[in-house]
Structure 1
Amino acid sequence: MSEPTTQEEARPGSSASVEFIGEWYRLDPSKPFEIGREADLDIDDNQYLHRRFLSIQFVDGLWWLSNVGSRLSASVSDPSGTMQAWLAPGARLPIVFALTTIVFTAGPTSYEFTIHTDAPAFVDSAPQRSPSGETTVGAVTFTLSQRQLILALAEPMLKREGTATSEIPSSANAANRLGWALSRFNRKLDNVCDKLSRAGVDGLRGGAGALATNRRARLVEYAVLSRLVTKDDLPLLDQSADED
């Protein structure tokens, strides 16, 4: 397994490095760097996490991120959060930003790490917000209560300080946080997932019995990385919202 380095050792003069919970790992272009339960970056002793989940490798002049697992997916985002890719098992994509954020969920726990390269960053605009408190992402508009639902699920991830792991609340706990009946929470969760699915967001729909847990994690990953909700929005959880 690779030994972590300090930020000062990893960043200057290196073409790429990985940061996870304050530890830095310089990437070697001559060999893959693997991330998982038993890998170069040993994320966590989590039975839901693959021993080898993600791999970073330098090929044809580019750093590539590959999903070498069989079940889990990862969300990949640029610094502004306006570009996001969903890396499914067997897929790979080039790392073209100076800073790339990767978030994934294994069981009830979400993890986040960053890849730093010498490539230039892209600058994009953030999601637009209307004076009424509604949020628009592309052609999708969310009401206050829908944003509250997203915030209730994303609250632990938005509040995390000095850590790259967080727990995704159950539907019952998120509904209790909002003071809603579980039936109301589930109905609004369906509406939010349907809206984002129609807008092209992957991983929020599935067959009967599928994605009951995973879609909550996927929703949190998308909402946080795309800046659909931020830490500054958390006070909205205590506002009163009419039934939609």
Structure 2
Amino acid sequence: MCAVTVTEASPALAVEFAGETFTVDPDQVFTVGRDGDLAIDDNLFLHRHFLTIEHVGGLWLLSNVGSRLSATVTDSASRVQAWLAPGARLPLVFASTSVIFSAGPTTYELTIHSTAPAFREMSQLDAAEDGMSTIGEVPLTLSQRLMILALAEPVLKREGTGMSDLPTSAQAAERLGWTLTRFNRKLDNVCDKLDRIGVPGLRGGVGSYATNRRVRLVEHAIAARLVTREHLPLLDAPDEAGDDA
């Protein structure tokens, strides 16, 4: 377990995205979206105003002011993860907070830094732990990990924060040398497994399910460290995964 202590909140906050750093004024509401203080991208799938950051009652609050998109929010060590749905908000209490979200085929990641976080880590996890105990470790077969890696490869290869276009299922299947049927079967298996342990956003309406589950799977896998940059060499190894379940 990680011991924390509560400290007095400070108005010092910064947002990092694609190599740029934006200072957040505690007297104003900082907006993130297609048209905001942080104008991320000219992507029509992205809300004009999607996220806001504001200083209220001694705490920094991150709010989802959009109507369709959600975001995955995690601390820098991926020990705590939250899904920020439309209309939801949560306090920014860690020294470094990662925010991952998708609009259409593009996935975005930004980092929020606080110089005096409300909760400060006092002890490190034991070296034997991998930082996933809070979120819940999910056992994956080699073929399941390969499937996630093929979808998440552009995000994992990206240096720092920024944006990445995710491959389609057909493109990811081709990357692995698999048939599309095999790829979709693995995608079904992993989404079902994560849905059973309570990971939100992997089930949806018929019209949007195929696209939404891919981007949501990548968001969760990156935030929970189910796949990391160190796993990428597996994509170039011979396929010895077989057709496991």
> Which interval holds the TM-score relative to the shorter structure?
0.7 to 0.9
Structure 1 residue aligned with 2:13, among 6, 11, 16?
16
Alignment partners' CA distance in 1, 2:44 and 2:97: 26
Q: CA deviation at 1:138?
A: 3.1
| CA distance in structure 2 between the aligned counterparts of 1:141 and 1:223, rounded to whole angstroms | 12
Given that residues 16 and 161 in structure 2 are in contact (C-alpha distance below 8 angstroms), is that contact kept between their aligned partners in structure 1?
A: no
Structure 2 match to 1:142: 140
1:122-137 alignment, distance < 5 Å: 122=121, 125-126=129-130
Gaps of 5+ in 1: 1-12, 129-136
Q: Cα deviations across residues 179-206 of structure 1 (Å, max 9, x unaligned)?
A: 1111111111010001011111110012
Unmatched 5+ residue regions in structure 2?
Answer: 1-9
* Cα distance in 1 for residues equivalent to 2:174 and 2:131: 28
Identity %: 61
Q: Using the alignment, how far apart are the partners of 1:82 and 1:102 within structure 2?
A: 14
- Following superposition, the deviation at residue 226 of structure 1 comes to 1.1
Calculate the TM-score normalised by the size of structure 1: 0.87
Q: Does 1:46 align with 2:43?
A: yes
Per-residue deviation, residues 74-115 of structure 1 (Å, max 9, x unmatched) = 110101112111111000000010000001111111111111
In 2, Cα distance between equivalents of 1:146 and 1:84? 22
Give the Cα separation in 2 of the matches to 1:221 and 1:58.
27
1:132-160 deviations in Å (ceiling 9; x for gaps): xxxxx736311000000010000110001
Matched residue, 1:243: 243
Distance in 1 of aligned mates of 2:196 and 2:53: 31
TM-score when scaled to structure 2? Answer: 0.86
Q: Does 1:30 align with 2:34?
A: no
> CA offsets per residue over residues 10-38 of structure 1, 9 Å max, x none?
xxx96111111121111111111000111
- Looking at structure 2, the residues matched to 139 and 34 of structure 1 have their Cα atoms a distance apart, in angstroms, of 34
| 2-structure distance, mates of 1:139, 1:102 | 21
Contact 2:11 2:55 in 1 (8 A): no
Q: How does 1:36-75 map to 2 (within 5 A)?
A: 36-75=33-72
Which amino acid is the alignment partner of residue 196 of structure 1? Answer: L
Aligned to 2:171: 173
Once the two structures are overlaid, the 10-residue window that deviates more, 144-153 or 203-212, is 203-212
The amino acid of 2:59's aligned partner reads L
Find the residue that maps to 2:21 and give its secondary structure. strand
